[in-house]
Amino acid sequence: MSIKDGHITMITPPAFIASANTTNIPLTTQTTVTLSSPRFNVGSHLSGNTFTAPISGKYLFTYLFYFTQLDASHTTLDVHIKTSNKQYQQTWNPSAFMGSDSNFSVSGSQICDMDANDTTYFAVYVQGGGAQTDIHGDSQVSGCLLL
Mean pLDDT of the chain: 94
Mean pLDDT across the stretch 26-40? Answer: 97
- Are 16 and 41 in contact by the 8 Å Cβ rule? The answer is yes
pLDDT at 84 over 90: yes
Torsion 91-112-29-19 (CA) sign: positive
- Report the predicted TM-score, pTM, of the whole model to 2 decimal places: 0.92
The predicted pLDDT at position 22 comes to 96
Whether pLDDT at 110 is above 70: yes
Mean pLDDT of 2-28: 84
pLDDT band at 8 (very low <50, low <70, confident <90, very high): low
